[in-house]
Structure 1
Amino acid sequence: MCITRVTAGGNRRLAPPFPAFPGAGGREEPAPVERADQVLALPAPGLLLQATRGDGIVRLHHHGSDHVRPYEGETAAEDDPHYGRQAYSTRTGPTAPGNVADNHLSVEVGGRRSVRRRIRPLGAGDGDGWGWAASWHRPVFAGGPPMVPGLRVESVTVARGVYELRVHRVTGAPAGARVTHTGWATGPEEELVSALHGLYGWDPAVETVRAPQGTARTRWAHLPRLTGRAGGTTVHVCLAVLTTAPGPGPSARAVTGVEADGSGVAAVWADGPRTRVMFDPVRVTLAGHRG
């Protein structure tokens, strides 16, 4: 865009609309994510951003923002797919109400499955090429008493490269309770890979479930789901992946070992670093990482 200036002699000439500034008209610089993977923690709202150079996907791990007012009670009827999920991305959408919820940990008690309503942040941080965010919530149920006394879920996400290490501690669960956890919802026509690998506290099999009403991105979707036992205090660890790279095989070997108890989790990555997640209080470290 230019504007026309009339000089004192009546001559017309084209001039830029703004004064010159350093870098104007220079070579376009690549965005940070075009150079390398990026991870950014936002502790105040309880969010973690994870962007990967290879596929251009930006993921938002959600550990703090909801629209439950301080004076409001928590009811399952007000569950909102745009607030309740634990992760969102620029290439996927949340599944519709009434379908299996994507990126969600649910506690099942007496045949009723829980939703996540009020989210309490527990912290967030980042380092060179990795980051974490954590929160806790009280599972809310429909069709009966909305809560189970003493039942609580603490959740931690650790982002590194395309990988999401998801750690959950369930406390106060009654005997016979079960937990399920889902990954990213993708459509059959999309060039996306959604994988979910149980590392600790899950049954061996990963099932694929359908969301027949789809998402904003696809007419119908499918998503991976893990299932495990709960009761008292249990810890559940899995690795989630959303990418455009073909095949889920390499992601299954990204973490080579996991040790866990009621106080924390240690996970060893295939390339050497070791992630440590502690619960009381929540603290996350990554040792041996070279960026």
Structure 2
Amino acid sequence: MSTAQVATRTDWTRDQWTAHADRLLAGARRWASPGHGRITPPGAEGGYGNAVDGLEGFARTFLLAGFRIAGERGQGVDDLIDFYVKGIATGVDPDATDRWVRPEEHAQAKVEAASLAVILDMTRPWIWDRLDARTQERVIGYLTAIVGDTTYPRNNWLWFRIVVETFLRSVGGPWSAQDIADDLGRHDSYVRADGWIADGDERSFDHYTGWALHFYPILWSRMQGAADLSGGRTPNDVAALDRYLRDAVALIGADGSPLIQGRSLIYRFAAAAPFWAGVLADVPSTPAGELRRAANLVVAHFDEIGAPDAQDLLTMGWHGEWRRLAQSYSGPASPYWATKGMLGISLPADHPVWTAPTAPLPVEAGDDLRVVRAAGWLISGTQTDGIVRVVNHGTDHSVPGSSVGDSPIYTRLGYSTATAPLHDGRAWREPLEQTVALVDDGGRASHRAGMELIDTRIDGEVAVGASVADAHWIEPATVQNRHGSGITGDTTPAGRILTISLVRGPWEVRLVHVEAVGSAARTLRIGGWPLAADVAPAVSADASTARAVIPRGAGRLESSVRLLAGSGTAAIIERDDASPLGSVASVPVIERDARAADEWTAVLVTLDGAGTGDVERASVAVQGGQAAVTWPDGVATTHDLTLFRSATPTDR
């Protein structure tokens, strides 16, 4: 889709939103069990088994059904109400063959219990109040198992207990004030700068910040009795969301693609959830019309590329089915957490958001350059091609100093709305795209997880970031936990690498200095953006420049690397069936002798969908701690590299 087509796309009306919701619900409900207690779409059984799959299908579509019912104030949706009332009665019936897995039987039920509680509260007059006394008692008994539970993971799961216990309190069930106080305190310990929230104690920044850690506080604040429990915190939660959304809207491409980064990407348009949360909270800094447009672009993006599919089902993948993108625990109904992105339909037709003037996203309005200090990100969005790029110096789903493998979905140096990190088994063992790695004689590439974020800042019209990594090789352990973190195993030091990024428009000047090198290191490899398509990208490489090109809408998308300073040779490395965006992926790289004379290596890394500038014009000179850059469009800038390290080496 061309940028011009994107710019003229008309936002959906509320009727179109509800029609889309009805389509999703109809597709899923066809796979309901006789008693409606489980919904199990076709597909490979998830890692937690068929019974959990069925519970996920009920609970996650119940989110969407609840939004639909609440938005109509219970009018004209009797069939939907009847379906889920029957399913609830079946789910909590201990003798039903399609009953729900209970929280004490499997931890995943604690996740799904949160969806049940939020929607039972949101639709109280139309569903909870219609349940007979025995069923209400059974629901309370089902949810009670979570009270006092100390086995919740230290991440966004804390909100699952908060919302369940808040609902229990509202219906006279057991609850614990200490549980809620502890969980709110834990949430606050994850809060970082500028409204960003880490998904746990690690440097885990991804879509969970928006679709969980900001989403639930806003819904919780609207639950019955929550005001009694909040201790007046809601204005601070809204202020944090307000600040976060100023960055979140800048992470959506003009074609509606969210940033392809982080775990649980099969949830797809759940990425729209924080925008609707912002509308509910009436945040002051981002207009309602811009939030509605951001949500609309995301949901419409996936609708246009086949999610839901021809059977009106959401599959495990990104554009289409691609099972490798899922985590080990994911099942055929897991993708229905995407329905969080449909929260807006809970707002009735007379809500002012539906008539608010449309406002463009930052990448639609012009070129956008900013930093996210908490995540160590440099963000560059370019209006001409509608692409948003992130250069990453601070997120690795780990902690500083750790020696785990690089997670492809967290630790790469770059992510964008037009490319996807490679995601096959090899990608977890051997970092390639968007990396700076030391490679040994056996072809093992080093990992950088545990790196030290030095700084991110705006320097005139250039975003600058830096990190230093104790690079290490890893021998993977036999058993791995496939929840998004990098692989574990025995590690061997490979060297110490300083990387500084200068980012402007579609370009990054990547400055690399190997401060220490292990005896086994043979090659320093600098990888660029991965391009993937079902037809192999067109590639070329000469001594200094490697380039890959694929069609994109009416134009083309180019990824290239060009050596600007130091020694090295350009090449293209290809991988098959390694990307959710296509069966063949190509990565341009620069490689040099790891043990060459101490020097800066400078590479121009480009991801360009508009043919901007001429990479052959680019140059860089590093001397005395200063980097003088001439960019492909002829603009010249100078940067003080000593600001990013007290003892930055000078070229020798």
TM-score (norm 1): 0.77
**CA RMSD, 1 decimal:** 3.0
| Alignment partner, residue 512 of structure 2 | 168
Greater helix fraction, Structure 1 or Structure 2: 2
Q: Answer with 151-160 or 138-147: which moved more.
A: 138-147
| Alignment partner, residue 502 of structure 2 | 158
| Alignment partner, residue 591 of structure 2 | 227
Q: Answer with 44-53 or 99-108: which moved more.
A: 99-108
The residue type equivalent to 1:147 in the other structure is P
Q: How does 1:70-219 map to 2 (within 5 A)?
A: 73-75=402-404, 78-95=405-422, 96-99=424-427, 101-111=432-442, 112-126=444-458, 129-143=461-475, 146-148=492-494, 151-173=495-517, 177-188=522-533, 189=535, 190-191=550-551, 192-203=557-568, 205-219=569-583
Distance 2:643 2:514 in 1: 14
| Contact persistence 1:107–1:113 (CA under 8 A) | yes
Shift of 1:113: 2.6
Distance 1:261 1:245 in 2: 33
Shift of 1:129: 4.3
Per-residue CA deviations over 1:52-71 (Å, capped at 9, x if unaligned) read 1111111111110122246x
Shift of 1:155: 1.1
Distance 1:63 1:98 in 2: 23
TM-score (norm 2): 0.37
| Alignment partner, residue 274 of structure 1 | 637
| Alignment partner, residue 251 of structure 1 | 614
| Contact persistence 1:241–1:251 (CA under 8 A) | no
Structure 1 regions of 5+ residues with no counterpart? 5-14, 284-291
| Contact persistence 2:628–2:636 (CA under 8 A) | no
Q: Partner of 2:384: helix, strand, or coil?
A: coil
The change in CA–CA distance for 1:127 and 1:280 in structure 2 (over 3 A counts) is closer
Distance 1:73 1:29 in 2: 43
| Contact persistence 2:563–2:590 (CA under 8 A) | yes
The change in CA–CA distance for 1:244 and 1:146 in structure 2 (over 3 A counts) is same
Larger relative contact order, structure 1 or 2 (CA cutoff 8 Å, min sep 6): 1
The change in CA–CA distance for 1:281 and 1:252 in structure 2 (over 3 A counts) is closer
| Alignment partner, residue 374 of structure 2 | 44
| Contact persistence 1:109–1:174 (CA under 8 A) | no
Q: Partner of 1:167: helix, strand, or coil?
A: strand
The change in CA–CA distance for 1:30 and 1:106 in structure 2 (over 3 A counts) is same
The change in CA–CA distance for 1:275 and 1:263 in structure 2 (over 3 A counts) is closer
Per-residue CA deviations over 1:265-291 (Å, capped at 9, x if unaligned) read 3222352422324146449xxxxxxxx
Distance 1:263 1:280 in 2: 9
Distance 1:131 1:91 in 2: 20
Per-residue CA deviations over 1:162-218 (Å, capped at 9, x if unaligned) read 111111111112577421111111124442211111101232x42111011231111
The residue type equivalent to 1:141 in the other structure is W
The residue type equivalent to 1:146 in the other structure is T
The change in CA–CA distance for 1:129 and 1:180 in structure 2 (over 3 A counts) is same
The change in CA–CA distance for 1:80 and 1:181 in structure 2 (over 3 A counts) is same
Distance 1:110 1:265 in 2: 33
Shift of 1:123: 0.6
Q: Partner of 1:98: helix, strand, or coil?
A: helix
Distance 2:492 2:394 in 1: 21
| Alignment partner, residue 265 of structure 1 | 627
Structure of higher CA gyration radius: 2
Distance 2:505 2:514 in 1: 27
Greater strand fraction, Structure 1 or Structure 2: 1
Per-residue CA deviations over 1:130-189 (Å, capped at 9, x if unaligned) read 3122111111113576114xx311111111111111111111125774211111111244
Aligned length: 261
Identity of aligned residues (%): 22
Shift of 1:119: 2.2
| Contact persistence 2:363–2:388 (CA under 8 A) | no
Distance 2:448 2:398 in 1: 11
Q: Partner of 2:531: helix, strand, or coil?
A: coil
The change in CA–CA distance for 1:69 and 1:267 in structure 2 (over 3 A counts) is closer
Q: Partner of 2:410: helix, strand, or coil?
A: helix
Q: How does 1:24-63 map to 2 (within 5 A)?
A: 25=355, 27-63=357-393
Shift of 1:35: 2.3
Shift of 1:259: 1.6
Distance 2:460 2:644 in 1: 23
